[in-house]
Structure 1
Amino acid sequence: MYHAKEWTVATRGRGFHDITAEVQRAVAESGADQGLCTVFLHHTSASLLLCENADPDVREDLEAFFSRLVKDGDPLFRHDAEGPDDMPAHVRTVLTQNSLSVPIKGGKAHLGTWQGLYVWEHRTSPHQRRVTVSVVG
């Protein structure tokens, strides 16, 4: 059996948007008791993250690390068609991921106790980000 659901996430600019509940709803709607859930983000300047969800400092520390690693406006980058955060956003996405696979058990995405699923917006301005969840069960 195969089921897919697509929706748009409105980001507020650089930072994290928790999509765990939306993914769990998509899995529940599929009716699959066990199987595999794939979450796919249709963009090249934002990414998906499976991360600790208990302490927001973890996500803040990740953002601080990436801000140091890939600086906006770095003269190394030629691609700046949409501003100084354009190429850094692409680099951040390449270093992370835009697709995640999560097992399904008992009709739910089988996440660890402290795991959550996030869209990580790498651009400084708000964007509409398209997410597709595919379930095979």
Structure 2
Amino acid sequence: MRHCSHEWQVNNGGRGLYELTQKLQAWLREVDAWAGWANLFVPHTSASLLLQENADPDVRADILDYFARLVPDGDPDFRHRNEGTDDMSAHLRSVLTQNSLIIPVREGRAALGGWQGVFLFEHRVRPISRRVLVSFQGVMEEG
């Protein structure tokens, strides 16, 4: 068994879903991962990670619309507003999603379903840079 880890800086344009699937697949090839587990973790309280459909962009739009209705920016009942009207809503959206993913790796690739993709889900409105910690534990490809 071996372990590899890395940190990505993901610059984004503000609230939205940013696909990381190809970045993950490329990194697994780079480290010669063969079989085991990939773990992704976002160390932020206003961004999260999703495993979601990556074929139809309407899915992403519907997710964003749903969260806008579920946790609206600027809710007058929010006490925490230190960084603007999207501050507390971003924290709540993060609570409702997840900050880590564990994905099986088979034959050197993340074993995702045919329509699945890995996404950074940015909850803040303004563009921001996020850290994503990625690691692999398992068997490396013998070359």
Q: Bin the TM-score by the shorter chain.
A: over 0.9
Report the secondary structure of 1:62's partner residue: helix
Q: What percentage of residue pairs aligned between the two structures are identical?
A: 53
Amino acid at match of 1:47: S
Tell me the secondary structure at the aligned position of residue 101 of structure 1: strand
CA distance in 1, matches of 2:36, 2:26: 15
Deviation per residue, 1:71-125 (Å, 9 max, x gap):
1000111000000100000000000001000000001111100001111110000
Question: What amino acid maps onto 1:94 in structure 2?
Answer: V
> Once the 2 structures are TM-superposed, how far is the Cα of residue 26 of structure 1 from its aligned partner?
1.8
Q: Which residue of 2 aligns with 1:77?
A: 78
CA–CA distance in 2 between the matches of 1:9 and 1:41?
A: 10
Three-state SS of the structure 2 residue aligned to 1:33 is strand
Consecutive unaligned residues of structure 2, counting only runs of 5 or more, are 139-143
Q: Bigger CA drift: 19-28 or 7-16?
A: 19-28
In structure 1, give the amino acid aligned to 2:38. Answer: C
> What's the C-alpha RMSD, in Å, of the aligned pairs?
0.7
Q: Does 1:12 align with 2:13?
A: yes
Aligned partner of residue 92 in structure 1, secondary structure: helix
- Listed one character per residue, the Cα deviations across residues 24-70 of structure 1 (whole Å, up to 9, x for unaligned) are 12212222210000011111101111100110101100110000000
Q: Which has the larger radius of gyration?
A: 2
Runs of 4+ in 1 over 6 A off after TM superposition: none
Paired amino acid for 1:25: A
When normalised by structure 1's length, the TM-score is 0.97
Inter-partner Cα distance in structure 2 for 1:55 and 1:95:
23
Q: How far is 1:9 from its partner?
A: 0.5
- Partners of 2:5 and 2:29 in 1: how far apart? 11
Matched, 1:117 2:126: no
Q: Counterparts of 2:73 and 2:61 in 1: how far apart (Å)?
A: 17
Asked if the contact 1:85/1:123 (under 8 Å) is kept, the reply is yes
- Cα distance in 1 between the residues matched to 2:74 and 2:35: 46
1:126 offset after TM fit, Å?
0.4
Which ranges in structure 1 are unaligned for 5 or more consecutive residues?
none
